[in-house]
């Protein structure tokens, strides 16, 4: 078992291990006697909710359950509205607790509801996807989409604790596991090239998850509100979010990040700032996990979606570009140069 401290303004711990759910009540001692809303989507709920609920009820918590329809199409203000109304109808107070049981989407939704309800309620994360364990459950970004635009409505609200029980991953489909690997691979490329050598194949999943969480915890503690170094965590995400948006979320977040990392590498290679072995290693890892490396979505639409990216100011957009294995830089690109930089290779070289 691993414990990682996240030293944000309100610090908390991330615990990583197998079969940790029985330990949950001991994490929640300060909430004894309080009501609790367990939030999950309709894929995770039938698999895991009953067990978590019974552990909590045995520890004398009053547990209400809120289940919403899975999928990025439902990461909306309407679902958030339904959850907030549910909290109100159950007479939850700001002293009570929300618990997210699910992937990154459930965590983002629950965190946002917790931030808004009674001007801020505590919440804890029980991530059930690899992607949520290594990335989404840590760092306090919460959000829902707006008109299909990714995470357009959100706030920073840190969880009070995160419990990564790898037993949840036993039911995660292989393609979903691979999507989480896109974020694991991202950490290796932005921060720790030695991590990349432990992924073909992974022999100790818990230590890999814990090491990813350590990287994220360190970066988030240094730059909680993403004014500087935290932007590096967005490697692959500018183009990736555009892919998610233009595909109407038929391309998942993890797959889109894989495509986005390849496009960012391509931009850096053509700008002459990235070493060749970066691309070789990136493609080898993505191929191994059967992750996509390119998209046939219309380039004009992707460009338009990137122009709406949250990471842009009026004149420029912040891009994360690789330089060598384990190192990326933030580059501020004038909006009018987006087209030139992101044009697919064939188009530019013709």
Binding characters for ligand NAD, 239-258, by CB under 6 A (x = yes): --------------xx----
Cα–Cα dist 161/304, whole Å: 38
- Residue 168 near ligand NAD by CB under 6 A: yes
- Number of residues engaging ligand NAD in binding (CB under 6 A): 30
Collapsing DSSP states into helix, strand and coil, what is residue 131? helix
Nearest-approach distance from CB 122 to ligand NAD, in angstroms:
17
Cα–Cα dist 89/71, whole Å: 25
- Residue 110 near ligand NAD by CB under 6 A: no
Contact residue for ligand NAD among 103, 188, 260, 322 (CB under 6 A): 103
- Residue 106 near ligand NAD by CB under 6 A: yes
Task: Pick the stretch among 128-136, 276-284, 289-297, 329-337 that binds ligand NAD (CB under 6 A).
Answer: 128-136
- Residue 236 near ligand NAD by CB under 6 A: no
Cβ contact 235:328 at 8 Å: yes
Cβ contact 154:143 at 8 Å: yes
Q: Which is nearer to ligand NAD, 44 or 317 (CB)?
A: 44
Task: Pick the stretch among 12-20, 26-34, 43-51, 258-266 that binds ligand NAD (CB under 6 A).
Answer: 43-51
Nearest by Cα to 313 from 329, 330, 335, 328? 335
Contact residue for ligand NAD among 38, 83, 108, 306 (CB under 6 A): 108
Q: 85 vs 73, 106, 147, 343, CA distance in Å? A: 20, 17, 21, 45
Task: Pick the stretch among 10-18, 39-47, 80-88, 337-345 that binds ligand NAD (CB under 6 A).
Answer: 39-47
70, two tokens: 């899975």
Nearest by Cα to 259 from 315, 306, 200, 216? 306
Nearest-approach distance from CB 116 to ligand NAD, in angstroms:
16
Environment class of 271 (CB within 10 Å of its CB; exposed 0-12, middle 13-18, buried 19+) = exposed
Cα–Cα dist 68/258, whole Å: 27
Report the interface residues with ligand NAD, using CB under 6 A.
41, 43-44, 47, 70, 72, 75, 102-106, 108, 128-129, 131-132, 135-136, 139, 141, 150-151, 168, 171-172, 176, 179, 253-254
């Amino acid at each position: 078992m691993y414990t990682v401290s996240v030293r944000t303004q309100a610090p908390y711990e991330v615990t990583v291990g197998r079969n940790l759910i029985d330990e949950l009540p001991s994490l929640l001692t300060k909430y004894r006697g309080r009501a609790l809303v367990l939030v999950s989507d309709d894929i995770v709920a039938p698999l895991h909710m009953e067990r978590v609920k019974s552990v909590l009820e045995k520890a004398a918590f009053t547990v209400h359950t809120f289940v919403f329809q899975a999928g990025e199409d439902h990461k909306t203000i309407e679902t958030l509205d339904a959850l907030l109304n549910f909290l109100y109808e159950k007479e939850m107070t700001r002293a009570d607790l929300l618990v997210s049981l699910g992937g990154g989407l459930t965590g983002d939704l629950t965190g946002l509801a917790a931030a808004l309800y009674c001007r801020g309620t505590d919440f804890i994360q029980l991530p059930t996807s690899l992607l949520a364990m290594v990335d989404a459950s840590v760092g306090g970004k919460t959000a829902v989409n707006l008109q299909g635009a990714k995470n357009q409505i959100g706030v920073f609200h840190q969880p009070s604790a995160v419990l990564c029980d790898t037993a949840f991953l036993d039911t995660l489909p292989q393609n979903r596991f691979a999507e989480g690997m896109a974020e694991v691979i991202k950490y290796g490329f932005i921060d720790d090239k030695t991590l990349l050598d432990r992924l073909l194949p992974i022999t100790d999943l818990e230590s890999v998850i814990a090491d990813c969480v350590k990287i994220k915890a360190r970066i988030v503690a240094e730059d909680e509100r993403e004014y500087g170094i935290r932007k590096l965590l967005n490697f692959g995400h500018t183009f990736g979010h555009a892919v998610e948006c233009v595909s109407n979320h038929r391309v998942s977040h993890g797959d889109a990040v894989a495509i986005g990392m390849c496009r960012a590498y391509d931009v850096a290679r053509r700008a002459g700032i990235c070493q060749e072995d970066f691309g070789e290693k990136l493609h080898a890892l993505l191929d191994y996990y059967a992750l996509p490396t390119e998209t046939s979505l219309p380039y004009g639409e992707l460009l338009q979606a990137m122009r709406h990216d949250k990471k842009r100011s009026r004149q420029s957009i912040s891009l994360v570009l690789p330089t060598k294995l384990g190192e990326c830089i933030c580059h501020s690109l004038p909006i009018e140069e987006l087209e030139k930089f992101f044009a697919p290779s064939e188009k530019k070289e013709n």
